[in-house]
Amino acid sequence: MCGPCPDGFSEENDKCVDIDECSEESSCQDACNNVEGRFVCSCTIGYRVDVSDQTACTDINECDEGLDICPQQCMNTDGGYNCSCFHGFTYNDTIDSCIADAVQECEMSSCPARSVCYSNKYGNPDCLCDKGFDFNNSAQTCEDIDECKQGVCTQICRNNNGGYECSCHPGYTLLADRTCQGNVLER
């Protein structure tokens, strides 16, 4: 004779059978996924399961977490985000780029490599470094930002020129929001 079934299982014909918590009204705000012995909630794109209660879906702030692909400015929205450009640029949504408005003075000014000339809000020609690069005042050049120093990845981070790459330790899978999720053991 065995003791009582562990949590998440019920006894049927002297066997412990997984309870499908998702077959009834689940506590998940969005999708419920039944797994052996328990259930996990998941959310539609743009939301993630709340870390505190594991059931509610909260909006991902793509702008704050750097998950957006905006060339310049990002504005968080519920379930997504919007891109916009600085003054002096116009957004081109077919190539997801901010194109500098034509300014005649820019042709005469010289901007460093990996930057673009544009007309700033005072109407003067100015240089703006490409995304992933920051202006170094003393060297007057655009230099790569080491995003890894800003803790953008949860596990492994590799900086590269103009960007960076996140990866996970063995046994983990990299999710779209750059977090690492422990692999579910197959039974």
Binding residues for Ca ion, rule: CB under 5 A, are 59, 76, 144, 159, 164
The answer to whether the CB of 91 falls within 8 A of the CB of 84 is yes
Specify the residue, 19 or 57, whose C-beta has the smaller distance to Ca ion: 57
Least CB distance from residue 77 to Ca ion, whole Å? 6
| φ/ψ (deg, to 5) at 89 | -130, 155
Distance CA 87, CA 100 (A): 9
User: Residue 129's CB: how many other CB atoms inside 10 A?
Assistant: 21
Specify the residue, 57 or 106, whose C-beta has the smaller distance to Ca ion: 57
- Give CA separation, 143 vs 17, 77, 135, 163, in Å: 59, 31, 6, 11
Least CB distance from residue 164 to Ca ion, whole Å? 5
Least CB distance from residue 184 to Ca ion, whole Å? 27
Least CB distance from residue 97 to Ca ion, whole Å? 19
Least CB distance from residue 4 to Ca ion, whole Å? 44
- Give CA separation, 3 vs 6, 14, 15, 95, in Å: 9, 10, 11, 63
The identity of residue 150, as a single letter, is Q
Specify the residue, 20 or 134, whose C-beta has the smaller distance to Ca ion: 134
Give residue for tokens 């600085």: 86
